Amino acid sequence: MPVVDPVCGIEMHQELAISHEHHGKTYYFCCEGCKRIFTKKPRKYSK
């Protein structure tokens, strides 16, 4: 299943992504760097 990194917009397969849960929703990232950016300002990227 394809997912989209909310920080950089890259689409990837869910199995290859790095996941992180925030307020009961799972977000997927292409790399640890995008995950770190998200965790610093989650409101900017979560919808």
pLDDT of residue 45: 93
Say how many domains are in the chain.
1
Q: What is the CATH number of the domain that holds 39?
A: 2.30.170
Fill in the DSSP letter of residue 45.
Answer: H
pLDDT of residue 39: 96
Residue 29, C-beta contacts closer than 8 angstroms, at least 6 positions apart = 5, 6, 7, 17, 18, 19, 20, 35, 38
Domain span including residue 7: 2-45
**Tens of each residue's pLDDT in the chain, 47 residues:** 899 999 999 999 999 999 999 999 999 999 999 999 999 999 999 87
pLDDT of residue 11: 98
CB 3 within 8 A of CB 19: no
The pTM of the full predicted model, rounded to 2 decimals, is 0.91
User: For residues 22 and 28, what is the distance between their CA atoms, to the nearest angstrom?
Assistant: 11
pLDDT of residue 26: 96
Which DSSP string corresponds to 11-44? EEEGGGSEEEEETTEEEEESSHHHHHHHHHSHHH
